[in-house]
Structure 1
Amino acid sequence: MREFNLRHGLLGAAIIAMIINLAIISINSAQTFPLYGDNEITNATVYGIMKYEYGDGLYVDISADDSDRYDVELIDSENRTYNGNSGPYRSELHGFPTETDYKGSIRDMLLFDVPDETIIKGIRIVPSQSAPFYINWTEMPEITGENATLRFYGATFEPNGMRWRQGNWNLDISINNIGNHTAKYNSSSFALMDQFGWIYSGEEGEELKEIPAGESLRFTVKVPFVSELSDPIAILFKGLNLDISAWTIRR
């Protein structure tokens, strides 16, 4: 029988603990959506949000108990509210032919009139027959490196008519320059990794965007010619790996 080595035993325990911690982190990040809320009488589920492809606005994929009608409002980081009271926007959830009915629930894609670059922090649901309730979600993903903080706000997939079954991912991000000198970035400074581990580079040839020290800039990173089978799970930037798997749009 091999003699037990205390040092090796402690090292093994530390490695196991590290693996468990990493697993917990992965599980937590993957549970951003769906999100649930209720008022003890009725309940709702938010499956995700995505940008409106024809202008300012946000889609919300949501379901609720089919026994009621619901007015829904989005709430931003400054506690302003947004609805969809005029076409093409719509923010009332109720029985409707386009909705998916499943076991007493209704599910629909609502569209809210929200200005570009708004940071949404939650949703207010107002049933017609019971008390309002809220569903809040965590801050958008961010990561900090030696000279920059990268923050992710959302993404859209744009089919590319030039290549079959490929398209462009447009990533809504911001960079906070925490270094001491002006930084310059464009889409080619970033890359996108899919669920298979394949890495797609950001578009080449864009004009560099200057970010002075201590300032931040929000802009769109374009990643072209991505397979429609690829689901983005991470943004790669200057040695940083930002997990976005819980926020990217599933087609």
Structure 2
Amino acid sequence: MNKMCLIIPAFLLALAMGPAGAYPLQASDGNATVVLFGSIRMPYELNDSEEVLKVDTGLLNASNATYQMMDQYDAVYDPAMYKPLNEGRQLVYFVVPKDSLFKLITVTPEGGRPININWWATPKAGNEFLLIRYYGITDWLINPDEQGIVVQVRGQNNGTQDVVFSPENFVLLDQWGWPYSATAGFDTEVIATGNASQDRVLVGFSGISLQSRPVSLVYGYYTDSPIVIDFNNDYLQLTNEQVYGTAGAQNVSAAQPAGQAVQPIALAAAATNESAVAGTAANNTTAQNATVASNINSSVSSTKARLAAARERLKQQTKDDTSAETPAGNATPGTVEPITSLNTNDIM
């Protein structure tokens, strides 16, 4: 890894000042309004071929709603469970095949009509040598001192000569333009002309300040031709043609990005304890839902256990540093063990 450069390019600093995450999407049936704020994937501990998709949603002028996700192959998924956050705001959990791509979410408010919202397109950016596709965050770990983030990407040769694709070239920028170098990743790969990397790959960043809000991913940050994935501006909504095809798009009105402040409303009483509420998926029994919800909670508990172990290692290392009587002002803080990479498959 190269030593972090403290001179931040002006254009990247300006880019990084925007809000983080995908731009919210919203749609209405004329009464109730649904807002999608973004999604994060996380490992599903009990099945390596599946993962958990966690969707951050808002619901206005309705007490409840049902949700369904549709992937690129038109397969439909019902929620495994819900977790209320605040009035009108909740997380909706789906268990889906690993590395799935989605095109549509359907929300049906209680007593209302189905509301279809086109999903976000996969962000991509490139230069004359390489094209990077960004598939989102696959793990986000937070402890009292720092954050660890794992993202999934794929590289494609965009030029006329072989190109080297390496995790050391990735940098994560926060809202002030501060660069965090990758601390874990994949094996460096040489991509031939006209080809893509063999699989989607994971890149890990640890030691991220709690004050930092990731806003962009950069490949070749220290070069003359950096490739920038802006977590806000590069998250565009799928078009009707991409979701429904040319013929079906003519009769469909897609959701538009949220352009105004969303005011919360009082919702019906809901459980707010730490355990999430099992969903009522249309094609599953209550017992099956409870089992899936329990499995997801097990995955969440596993993540918490990893964080607890990391905290203990941090405390022990800090204790060892103190016992070594390092002079004040020169102490080296303990660090969380780097995030390891995982094997992934790709759907392009």
User: Taking structure 2 as the reference length, what is the TM-score of the superposition?
Assistant: 0.53
Q: Which residue of 1 aligns with 2:72?
A: 77
Q: Is residue 117 from structure 1 mapped to residue 99 from structure 2 by the alignment?
A: yes
Helix, strand or coil at the partner of 1:168: strand
The answer to whether the 8 Å contact 2:125/2:131 transfers is yes
Residues 1-251 of structure 1 mapped to structure 2, 5 A cutoff: 32-55=22-45, 56-65=51-60, 67-84=62-79, 89-90=80-81, 98-101=84-87, 106-155=88-137, 156-159=139-142, 165-203=145-183, 206-217=186-197, 218-238=200-220, 239-245=226-232
Percentage identity across paired residues of the two chains? 22
Give unpaired runs (5+ residues) of structure 1. 1-21
SS in 1 for 2:23: coil
Instruction: Give me the whole-angstrom Cα distance separating, in 2, the residues matched to 1:158 and 1:71.
Output: 29
For residue 244 of structure 1, report the CA deviation from its aligned partner: 1.4
Name which structure has the greater RCO, CA cutoff 8 Å, separation 6+.
2
Q: 1:133–1:212: structure 2 CA closer, same or farther, 3 Å change rule?
A: same
Cα drift, residue 195 of structure 1: 0.9
1:46–1:61 Cα contact (<8 Å) kept: yes
Alpha-carbon distance in structure 2 between the residues aligned to 1:153 and 1:204: 17
Any gaps of 5 or more consecutive residues in structure 2? 1-13, 46-50, 221-225, 236-348
RMSD over equivalenced CA pairs, Å: 2.9
**8 Å contact kept, 1:187–1:223:** no
| Secondary structure of 2:168's aligned partner | helix
Shift in CA distance, 109/204, structure 1 to aligned 2, threshold 3 Å: closer
Deviation at 1:141, TM superposition (A): 2.0
Q: Deviations over 1:37-77 (max 9, x none)?
A: 11113211111111134440111111213634321012223
CA 30–235 in structure 1, closer or farther in 2 if over 3 Å, else same: closer
Stretch moving more, 63-72 or 137-146: 63-72
Deviation at 1:150, TM superposition (A): 1.0
Which structure shows the bigger proportion of residues in strand conformation? 1
- The number of equivalent residue pairs is 207
Question: Could you say which residue in structure 1 is the equivalent of 2:328?
Answer: none
Deviation of 1:145 after TM superposition, in Å, equals 0.6
Checking the alignment, whether the CA contact within 8 Å between 2:174 and 2:212 is kept in structure 1 is: yes
Greater helix share, structure number: 2
Structure 1 Cα separation of the partners of residues 101 and 77 of structure 2: 12
